[in-house]
Amino acid sequence: MSQTPSILNVGCGQVRIPGAIGIDFDPQSCADVIHDLDRYPWPFEDRSFDRILCSHVLEHLRDPRRAMQEIQRIVRPNGTVEIATPHYSSPESWGDLTHYMHFSLKSFEPFYQRGNRQEAFDLVSCRLGFGKGIPSLLGRLLAAALGLSFYEKYCCFLFPGRNMEFLLRRKPDAPR
């Protein structure tokens, strides 16, 4: 019996990652599993993957909170989840009609913030990327000097961010 690859590429599109299972709704994608990600449960057993990649997919789902709960179900204890999504101040966030959700730096906190019922992950890293040019440079400088919370609250629409990247680690004792 062959072992299932321990990497899942959620919403893989045309991106094939060696050794990973790709899942996507589009039959024209390079997915190994064709499945509507807005239909639950996803077709995987509990605790199936050591690493889950979600690059620019959660904003396309109708219920990203439910998708995060599904990710929580299928990632193994100590497994990692990598999320990339546009920041809500980015023109790319609002310029795509297929985006149902626009995320902030705080959007995923219920899944890793201490004391929350849903807390199943530890936040390993959170990164806000900026584009090129003087406004992006000013945004980067303000975020570095004053902190991401201050930047997001007071500066993000003057000096928009581009993309956010989160790395989460599944707690070994977290509920499914």
The answer as to whether 156 is a domain residue is no
Contact 21, 8 (CB under 8 A): yes
How many structural domains does the chain have? 1
CATH number of the domain within which 40 lies: 3.40.50.150
The answer as to whether 158 is a domain residue is no
The tens digit of pLDDT for each residue in 129-144 reads 999 999 899 999 999 9
The answer as to whether 149 is a domain residue is no
Check residue 103 and report its DSSP letter: B
2's tokens: 């062959």
Residue by residue, DSSP assigns 5-43 as PSEEEET-TT---TTEEEEES-TTS--SEE--TTSSS-S
Prediction pTM value: 0.91
The tens digit of pLDDT for each residue in 9-22 reads 999 999 999 999 99
The answer as to whether 138 is a domain residue is no
The answer as to whether 141 is a domain residue is no
Domain extent for 23? 7-130+163-170
